[in-house]
Amino acid sequence: MRNATLSASRPPLRLRLPPRQLIWVGVAASVIWAAVQANLFSGALINPGGWALVVRLLDGLFHPNFSSAFLRLTLDSTLITLSYAVLGTFFSLVIGMVGGILSSEVWWQAHGFNQEAARPGSIALRFYRRSPWLAARTLLAVPRSLHEIVWGLIFVNIFGLVPLTAIFAIAVPFGAICAKVFSEILDEQPRQPFLAMLNAGAPPLQAFFYALFPSALPNLISYSFYRFECSIRSATILGIIGAGGLGYQILLSLQSLRYQEFLPMLIALLLLSGLTDVWSSQLRQALGGSTRIEIQTGVNHTAGIPSTGSTRSSAFLKGSMISILLLTGFALVYLKPDFSSILAPRTAQLLEGILRDSFPPQLPDGGLLYLLRLSGQTLAISILAMAAVGPLAMAAAFVSSGRLRNLGQITATRQPGLRPAAILAYLVRMFFLIARAVPTPIWVLMILFVVFPGILPGAVALALHNWGITGRLMVETVDNMDERPLVALQSLGASPGQTFMYGALPDVFPGFISYIFYRWENCIRETVVIGIVGAGGLGRLLSEQLSNFDYAAITSTLIALILLTILVDLLSSAVRRQYRS
């Protein structure tokens, strides 16, 4: 009979960090270094001649083009972006589900692998027992290390500017990300029912779907809708490579100085992003699962299944599932993607040619030192961006949270109606939505009106975009804060300031740090996007190499980017883990 006893898995690779005080000394030194790299302490940064373009942009915002013809174009672009996001999410979930099972430790332990912690043996034997799991994890690490814009540029050379390019550019990296998160969700479920089924002779796959999936389903669905939110932003970004949709039209309007077209497109983008955000948040509440960031950062993967007595939640969940199926069907009809081209001989020939030209890798002109210097610029962009995001997002989260807005009257009856503080909170949340809905390349193009090209415009663009995302996550943290310690402090006579400093801040600060470092990981990937539109770093080099079809040099640049991403991921994970302990 199959040995179904699962052992404790060996802990993953971890970095040992110094005490928190020394970590912050390192953070301060890194910010100073990044500021020097961006020439913040020397040289001219502002382009005075660009203010005329800013005035023209503002004039276009106050005189928008709401003609029927342009509104039809806006609607078509919105539907294209939505369809890319829906189909990209659908295929990423297919990849993520298969990859999540194959990269989970519990799957391989059920087959007798990955049990070296409890079974003695040589180093070679222990490696053999872990080899399938390690192979699956390694195979999925590369796709998720590359931004979807990179995959889009690769697929353009294979399929051309067709819907498949945008769909697969979202599906491939997001599928690898979903596989990683899904595997972690599955590994953290209670295993007793799973073991019981295995011991009773059930096949592993059957035991998976009957014993592990029911408890994991709320968080699997919750994270899937979070990925849908991200797909909306990615589908917009893919417009800069000519894939169409809202991002493409906004880019054309800015480059051709038709600023009167910007506001209608921006309103459509805000509505699309905002409605998706609200839908996703409501679904997570109906499921009773973890918040979006808790699942992504590993804070909590063990939320419960929603109460079966909640008829409203059950109906909302069913309605959401039906809506997704209808949207998927609509997207297939609207885009009409030609899936037969995947198996076309020409596709195989083009892919073979790209792979053949990509190896062996070659260093770019300027050699290894040039590649390292651009890697340093990429790192500096991400550090400056998050150094600005951290304090600004914290302050905005406290201002916009309903909990701390009433800090002085937690135990008192709260008066209905809009007060100045409430109006300010709503405005901040609207700014969050605008900041995260507008893609980073669009922010870069607007910032380049008044800031000279280089590291700084890229850092500011990333800071604006990530301020909207990080601030939204921090607001969720404050809104979900336990008020009982605050009530206890105020009952003992503590002032609002003392209640905030000794009750609220210590409760939410570890989560804030976790979110900031989590977004730092994403910033490294997003530097590719801003580099393509002229913000410097490895992204700019990659754009030049792609335009010259220099695939051997592209490989070396991508290797540098992947190694940099892995380094940042390790540092970020270590810091977040220390603040969770």
> Is the CB of residue 54 less than 8 Å from the CB of residue 450?
yes
Nearest to 451 by CA among 534, 572, 559: 534
What's the rounded mean pLDDT across residues 522-534?
82
What's the rounded mean pLDDT across residues 201-230?
85
Compute φ and ψ for 258, nearest 5 degrees: -95, 70
**The token pair that represents 426 in the structure block:** 């709503």
Per-position b or e across 359-398, b if 16+ CB within 10 A of its CB? eeeeebeeeeeebeebbbbbbbbbbbbbbbbbeebbebbb
| Per-residue model confidence (pLDDT) at position 1 | 39
| Per-residue model confidence (pLDDT) at position 496 | 79
What residues form DSSP beta bridges with 451?
46
- Helix 505-532 and helix 551-580, axial crossing angle in degrees, nearest 10: 180
Most confident of 377-386, 475-484, 490-499: 377-386
Confidence label for 133 from pLDDT (cuts 50, 70 and 90): confident
Higher pLDDT pick, 76 / 497: 76
pLDDT in tens, 286-325: 776 555 555 555 444 344 444 444 566 778 888 888 999 9
Length of the chain measured in residues? 581
Q: Which residues contact 434 (CB under 8 A, 6 or more apart)?
A: 266, 270, 468
| Domains and their CATH numbers in the chain | 74-347 (1.10.3720.10), 369-409+417-580 (1.10.3720.10)
Judged on CB neighbours under 10 Å (0-12, 13-18, 19+), 252 is: middle
What residues form DSSP beta bridges with 46?
451
Q: What is the pTM of this model?
A: 0.83
What's the rounded mean pLDDT across residues 40-51?
82
Q: Which residues contact 50 (CB under 8 A, 6 or more apart)?
A: 448, 449, 450, 451
Q: How far apart are CA 133 and CA 515, in angstroms?
A: 28
For residue 529, the tally of other CB atoms under 10 A from its CB is: 27
Of the chain, the percentage scoring pLDDT greater than 90 comes to 29
Q: State in Å, rounded, how far the first CA of the chain is from the last one.
A: 40
393-398's contacts with Cβ under 8 Å and 24+ in sequence apart are: 393/467, 393/470, 393/471, 393/474, 393/512, 393/515, 393/516, 394/474, 394/512, 396/428, 396/431, 396/432, 396/467, 396/471, 396/474, 397/471, 397/474, 397/475, 397/477, 397/478, 397/512, 398/478
- Helix 440-447 and helix 246-255, axial crossing angle in degrees, nearest 10: 10
What's the rounded mean pLDDT across residues 470-482?
83
Provide the strand spans (E) within 82-138: none
pLDDT in tens, 16-26: 555 677 788 88
Give SS3 for 348.
helix
Lowest mean pLDDT, pick from 85-99, 283-297, 434-448, 541-555: 283-297
Compute φ and ψ for 46, nearest 5 degrees: -100, 135
Lowest mean pLDDT, pick from 84-88, 114-118, 166-170, 396-400: 114-118
Confidence label for 214 from pLDDT (cuts 50, 70 and 90): confident
For residue 192, the tally of other CB atoms under 10 A from its CB is: 9
Nearest to 263 by CA among 246, 279, 278, 280: 246
Over 90: is that where the pLDDT of 422 sits? no
Higher pLDDT pick, 30 / 573: 30
Judged on CB neighbours under 10 Å (0-12, 13-18, 19+), 440 is: buried
What's the rounded mean pLDDT across residues 387-396?
92
